[in-house]
Amino acid sequence: MRLSKAVQTLKPSATIAAATKAKELKASGVKVYEFTLGEPDFTTPEHICDAAKQAIDAGETHYTPAAGTPRLKQAICDRYQRDYNLSYEPSQVVVSNGAKHSIHNVLSALCGPGDEVIIPTPYWVSYSALVELTGATPVLVPTTQESGFCLSAEQFESAITDKTRLLMLNNPCNPTGAAYPVETLESLAKVAVKREIPVLSDEIYEHLVYEGAEFRSFASFGEDVKNLTIIVSGVSKAYAMTGWRIGWTLAPVDVTKAMSNLQSQQTSNPCSISQCAAEAALNGPQDCVQEMLKHFAERREYVLERLGNIDGLSFATPGGAFYAFFDVSKFFGKPLQGGVVVNNSTEFCTAALEQAHVGLVTGDAFGAPGYVRLSFATDLQTLEEGINQLEKFLAG
């Protein structure tokens, strides 16, 4: 059958594809060290699961308003007020089927053919694909390991043309773990205001920030910045709720209305039961988030120490999220385990899985040739054994 132009060049998500390959190997009976997926390994906290069970018993099993229940929207507004002193009205919230869906809504509401969207690289796999789906053009702006993989105000400003519709910012960043310094954010915000460029600020890892780094919401640099910002976040990463599929946007009312209309035609409401669970996550005790963060911090320390001791690997210290993103290009063209020689990150990841049974994601998928991503959202023992395997693989 003839496919639409929009999907003809669409590739499946590289992280999901890498995880599928690792799962296939595992299914064949091989012990695989799985570091591909960006998904907390913890179970969803009990009080959140209980809220979902109660929601079913209470008959919360029907359509809700397309953009989310008034109760959840209020819980989201309360949270931004409480945590960041940011005032939003429920009329500025759209609750969607995960933050990925929220990003799609934003891009569909703001962009179309002929428009340009600035994306600092390395970037999360889905950004460019979702931009292209709207017919707009991603403008990739490379950041460097030396800058901690942060976009500078100068880079932002020089990428702006009369076609620029949006900057997509991800802080803390997947795949690099970059947590933007407050001053850098502020200087980006000044450019956004000066040049009147809306900013999609993907803050899905906002709670996963480690010692020495600080999280600031992009909307917090003044009313003029807030009026240009669309915050994207959700419960997936902070509350180990990836499967529940709840994300949201906070945006000016006109953009929110457009996204709400879009969603009402496209998917209707996100799952009613998940919305009740998300409400419990936001309104309930937050020590579960701190508890998970403690484990992530311990794993991060461990991984950075181990990788730092491997000759030939280099990386920028991740201030947030749960990824180590490192440069493996020194190993290209040299025999690795089993005598295998690789010439790029994609070949490196294939060989690491086949030879050492270590699942990593290629930097090529993130617009960062030469790099690979290791997710440390897994237990310490798996990390220890997997990095031992990686060391053997690199030693050849």
Which of these segments, 60-68, 96-104, 181-189, 304-312, binds ligand PLP (CB under 6 A)?
Answer: 96-104
Residue from the set 88, 124, 215, 218 that interacts with ligand PLP by CB under 6 A? 124
The closest of 157, 163, 169 to 193, measured between CA atoms, is: 157
Give me the least distance between CB of 278 and ligand PLP, in Å please.
Answer: 11
Does 236 contact ligand PLP by CB under 6 A?
Answer: yes
Give me the least distance between CB of 337 and ligand PLP, in Å please.
Answer: 29
Find residue 247's DSSP bridge partners.
96, 234
Which of these segments, 84-92, 95-103, 179-187, 268-276, binds ligand PLP (CB under 6 A)?
Answer: 95-103
Instruction: Give one DSSP letter per residue of 43-61, joined into a string.
Output: PPPHHHHHHHHHHHHTT--
Pairwise CA distance, residues 313 & 363, whole Å: 14
> What are the b/e assignments for 202-214, b being 16+ CB within 10 Å?
bbbbbbbbbeebe
Residue from the set 34, 116, 202, 327 that interacts with ligand PLP by CB under 6 A? 202
**Degrees, nearest 5: CA angle 273-294-310:** 120
> What are the b/e assignments for 239-252, b being 16+ CB within 10 Å?
bbbbebbbbbbbbe
Which of these segments, 98-106, 128-136, 283-291, 357-365, binds ligand PLP (CB under 6 A)?
Answer: 98-106
Sheet with 229-234: strands ordered across: 93-96, 247-250, 229-234, 199-202, 164-170, 116-121, 137-142
Structure tokens at 249: 């946007």
Does 319 contact ligand PLP by CB under 6 A?
Answer: no
Which of these segments, 57-65, 94-102, 139-147, 303-311, binds ligand PLP (CB under 6 A)?
Answer: 94-102
Does 204 contact ligand PLP by CB under 6 A?
Answer: yes
- The answer to whether the Cα torsion of 171, 177, 179, 180 is positive or negative is negative
Number of residues interacting with ligand PLP: please give it, by CB under 6 A. Answer: 13
Which of these segments, 92-100, 262-270, 299-307, 379-387, binds ligand PLP (CB under 6 A)?
Answer: 92-100
Give me the least distance between CB of 371 and ligand PLP, in Å please.
Answer: 16
> Of 175 and 394, which CB lies nearer to ligand PLP in the complex structure?
175
Pairwise CA distance, residues 34 & 19, whole Å: 8
Give me the least distance between CB of 102 and ligand PLP, in Å please.
Answer: 8
Does 240 contact ligand PLP by CB under 6 A?
Answer: no
**Residue numbers 135-174 binding ligand PLP by CB under 6 A:** 170, 174
Question: Angle between the 99-110 and 126-133 helix axes, to the nearest 10 degrees?
Answer: 40
Give me the least distance between CB of 179 and ligand PLP, in Å please.
Answer: 13
200, 169 Cβ separation under 8 angstroms: yes
Pairwise CA distance, residues 209 & 196, whole Å: 29
> Of 98 and 386, which CB lies nearer to ligand PLP in the complex structure?
98
**3-class DSSP state for residue 297?**
helix
**3-class DSSP state for residue 225?**
helix
Give me the least distance between CB of 28 and ligand PLP, in Å please.
Answer: 26
For residues 267 to 306, the per-residue mask of contacts with ligand PLP, x marking binding by CB under 6 A and - elsewhere, is ----------------------------------------
**Residue numbers 25-64 binding ligand PLP by CB under 6 A:** 38
> Of 122 and 234, which CB lies nearer to ligand PLP in the complex structure?
234
Does 99 contact ligand PLP by CB under 6 A?
Answer: yes
Query: Judging by DSSP bridges, how do beta strands 164-170 and 199-202 pair with one another?
Result: parallel
Structure tokens at 35: 């570091």
Task: By CB under 6 A, name the binding residues for ligand PLP.
Answer: 38, 98-100, 124, 170, 174, 202, 204, 234, 236, 242, 247
